[in-house]
Amino acid sequence: MPCHVLQALLLRAQVHKEASRLGLIHPRDRNGSLVTDRFSTPELEAALEAYRSACTAAVDHVRDRLRTLAASLTVRIFEVYLIL
């Protein structure tokens, strides 16, 4: 094995050991997959999870409101059609 590859592996092991000592964790990406070449704090990951949950809830709420609006517009269009 070339010397630079061995040095890179040793450095990576040192980085992981130090990250573990500091309480760092591997974050998750937007799809929930573990990102093994990055580090984060548990607090930041918790905040990001809360943000993602809030975004999902907002999307669900907007979808429900748009469906309600579309249903009411359908009724109104039908009423206008009957008047004409």
Choice between 2 and 13, residue whose per-residue pLDDT is larger? 13
Q: Rounded distance, CA 56 to CA 48, Å?
A: 12
Q: Rounded distance, CA 9 to CA 31, Å?
A: 28
Under the banding of pLDDT at 50, 70 and 90, the label for residue 1 is low
Considering the entire predicted model, what is its pTM?
A: 0.66
Question: Does 7 have pLDDT greater than 90?
Answer: no
Averaged pLDDT for residues 21-29: 92
What number of other Cβ atoms are within 10 A of residue 20's Cβ?
11
Averaged pLDDT for residues 14-22: 89
Tens digit of each residue's pLDDT (9 = 90 or more) over 52-84: 999 999 999 999 999 999 999 987 887 777 776
